[in-house]
Amino acid sequence: MKWTDIIEQNVPVVQSADPIWKVSEYMKIAELDKLPVLSDQNFIGIIHARDLLNTDSDRSIEEYIDKKCVTIDCTTELHRLPSFTNQFLPVVKDGIYCGSIRSDKIYRYLQDELNQLMLVIDNSYDGILITDGEGCILHINKAFEQIAMLSKEEIIGMNMTDLVDKGLFLNDSVVMKTLELGKSYTNIQKYKNTRLYTLVTATPVCDQKGDLIRVLANVRDISELTRIQEQLDESKKLTSLYQSELKQLRFEKINASGKIIAHSQEMQEVLDLVYHVASCDSTVLLLGESGVGKEVIAKVLHENSLRVKKDSFMKVNCGSIPPNLLESELFGYEQGAFTGAKKGGKPGMFELVNNGTLFLDEIGELPLEMQVKLLRVLQEQEIMRVGGTQTIKVNVRIIAATNRNLEKMVKEGTFRLDLYYRLNIVPITIPPLRERKDDITPLLGYFLKQFNEKYQYTKRFSKEVVDQLLLYHYPGNVRELSNIVERLVLTYRDDVLEPRHLPKHIRECSKAEENTMIQQDEPKADLNIIKLFWNDPAEGDNLFEHVEKEALIQALKKYGSVRKTGKAIGVSHTTVLNKMKKFGVALEEIR
């Protein structure tokens, strides 16, 4: 109900031209001591009974009209109604009389509104506390009683300062802060009786003059939200831990397979992506220089996919097959397709590796006319044999690789743009060995052990050889490193391989690089070398103890203390102390 619904139309009205006797009669009938005066429908004012005493009854009331009387407008908001003690107030809109409203009905209406408002407040899910402008508590609802474990009888009428003095709040009172600042304030608040976490917002309420007359505090129990947040934080920690453990398991799996040596952060990031996309059927484009291990990565992708079965991986080197034979090799041919064609025809590699993985190495060498046909296979998943008339459906995952810049080739017109986009769905760039030098030492150990076993030798590297091999830039990447180690094992009879055994171009390049590093005058610690030996001593096969000692010294120089060095390596400080004792390293001597 709106307050305008209680406007009355049965209050008698008089016209400005009416005689006094007529007005007096209306007042007696209505039992009122004043009446509204109109001129037609326009409100003029009020005529009071007291002004009509001892007055000629035949005279007009016009000169006795109170034109300065209080009126209210239909559009006036309830809380802006003027206070009055008269029997009624006239309601006027745009000068037109609308009716009158009695004071007792206004009172009853306001009382009903107040009761409904209090009912809403008491049934609010949030706790509500109301104080006056001095901080004296006027009202609290049921929710606040439950949250703070304080009853109305205990605190209504008390001042907030009394509650603070009694220690009922375990931190600053939000209401007191609002009274101090004169503006809204929000904070977390805890209560002594329950130790619940609550979010409290206190809002000042001002009168028309701008004076603060009330403070409304909204109190919400956020203990459950806090508990959920703590669980979420714990879940995030567990997720991070699981991811770290998963990464470690992948790392261990990689090392256990013996196919990939990846101790550097750069290669571990590549392998994380490889394992992530391996189970998908998306086309993968492997990018990188010659010798970085693109074929090895392609096999890892296949072996961790859903297409692993016997003979389900096949490699095609697009640059080694003559262009006139490449189509028949890939798609096969029908009987009589060309001179010398095998009787009965021959299936191509797409058919032979159906439901498996086809590795197209050196894809940048593919002739333009073959690029069109490969694009059709990728789009339609079907092939047609040379000399054939029917298409054959195939289900093959493509992994392509190249050491060329395909984007540049697209601009030059030597590689099709549409094929490039078809191949470049998941690009994986394998960094060259010079950009992941943390892998060089483990690779040296791996290849030396491999060739020692293969040729039944017990060769080992001197410290100086390892130092120089670490400085070399390896334009041929991992393949070149493998060839260097095999050459050293096979070529020289000495059990200990010295710098003089290294090829001249490596010695000269390493010497120039060493001079550059000396000029930088900053010790650098290869922590991965230490991790290699300390976390898995068998991996190094005790070939590089001198390298391990040198790396330990560099780490101690860099981090300055035993504990910091242990933390950086990922071992306890006791392990560092034991290694220092083993190698006769004193911290005071190397600072």
Chain segment 322-354, per-residue pLDDT in tens? 888 899 999 998 887 777 777 878 899 999 999
Q: Which comes out higher in pLDDT, residue 55 or 198?
A: 198
Longest Cα separation, the chain? 148
Residue keyed to tokens 């293969």:
454
231/229 Cα distance (integer angstroms): 5
Please, where in the chain does CATH 3.10.580.10 lie? Answer: 3-104
Task: Tell me the pairing of strands 284-287 and 397-402.
Answer: parallel
DSSP classification of residue 571: S
3-class DSSP string for 140-160: ECHHHHHHHCCCHHHHCCCEH
pLDDT tens-digit map of 537-570: 444 454 456 667 878 888 888 887 877 888 787 7
**Quick one: pLDDT at residue 511?**
62
Structure-block tokens of residue 447: 């290849």
- How far apart (Å, rounded) are the C-alpha atoms in residues 375 and 380? 9
Question: Which of 317, 314, 469 is CA-nearest to residue 394?
Answer: 314
Task: Give the up-direction half-sphere exposure of residue 499: CA atoms within 13 A in the CB hemisphere.
Answer: 16
Whole-number pLDDT of residue 55: 77
Evaluate if residue 60 carries a pLDDT over 70.
yes
- What's residue 209's pLDDT? 84
pLDDT in tens, 294-310: 999 999 999 888 887 76
Give residue 27's pLDDT band: very low, low, confident or very high (50, 70, 90): confident
Of the pLDDT bands very low, low, confident and very high (cuts 50, 70, 90), residue 486 is very high
pLDDT above 50 for 510:
yes
Q: What does the alpha-carbon distance between residue 328 and residue 419 come to, in Å, rounded to a whole number? A: 20
Q: Can you give the pLDDT at residue 413? A: 94
Q: What is the pLDDT of residue 3?
A: 64
The mean pLDDT value for 515-522 works out to: 50
| Cβ(181)–Cβ(198) below 8 Å | no
Select from 2.70.70.10, 1.10.8.60, 3.40.50.12500, 2.40.70.10 the CATH code of 434-590. 1.10.8.60
Of residues 276, 423, 454, the one with CA closest to residue 360: 423
* Confidence at residue 234, expressed as pLDDT on a 0 to 100 scale: 85
Q: What is the pLDDT of residue 525?
A: 47
Query: Boundaries of CATH 1.10.8.60 in the chain?
Result: 434-590
In the structure, what pLDDT confidence band is assigned to residue 257 with cuts at 50, 70 and 90? low
Q: What is the DSSP letter of 336?
A: T
Burial class for 67, CB neighbours closer than 10 Å (0-12, 13-18, 19+): exposed
Least confident of 216-230, 370-384, 389-403, 534-548: 534-548
Instruction: Provide the residue count of the chain.
Output: 591
What is the Cα–Cα distance from 420 to 427, expressed in whole angstroms?
11
pLDDT, position 548:
74
> Exposed, middle or buried, 446 (CB in 10 Å: 0-12/13-18/19+)?
buried
Q: Any bridge partners for residue 15, and if so which?
A: 38
Please tell me the pTM assigned to this model.
0.51
Q: Tell me if the domain spanning 259-431 has CATH number 3.30.565.10.
A: no
**Residue of 404, 405, 432, 420 whose CA lies nearest to 368:** 420
Q: Which of 180, 170, 260, 244 is nearest to 212 (CA)?
A: 180
563 versus 268: the higher-pLDDT residue is: 268
**pLDDT given at position 544:** 52
Q: What's the rounded mean pLDDT across residues 280-285?
A: 92
Q: Does domain 123-221 have CATH number 3.30.450.20?
A: yes
Q: Domain 3-104 belongs to what topology?
A: CBS-domain (3.10.580)
pLDDT band at 316 (very low <50, low <70, confident <90, very high): very high
Looking at residue 521, its pLDDT comes to 44
Could you tell me where in the chain the CATH 3.30.450.20 domains are found?
123-221
**pLDDT attached to residue 522:** 46
* 385 pLDDT more than 60: yes
**Numbered ranges of CATH 3.40.50.300 in the chain:** 259-431
Query: 209-213, 249-253, 381-385: lowest mean pLDDT where?
Result: 249-253
Strand partners, 186: 201
Above pLDDT 70, what percent of the chain? Answer: 87
Q: How many CB atoms lie within 10 A of CB 130?
A: 19
**pLDDT reported for residue 580:** 83
Closest of 522, 530, 517, 430 to residue 472, by C-alpha: 517
> Helix/strand/coil (H, E, C) string of 417-485?
HHHHHHHCCEEEECCCHHHCHHHHHHHHHHHHHHHHHHHCCCCEECHHHHHHHHHCCCCCHHHHHHHHH
Give me the pLDDT at residue 89, please: 81
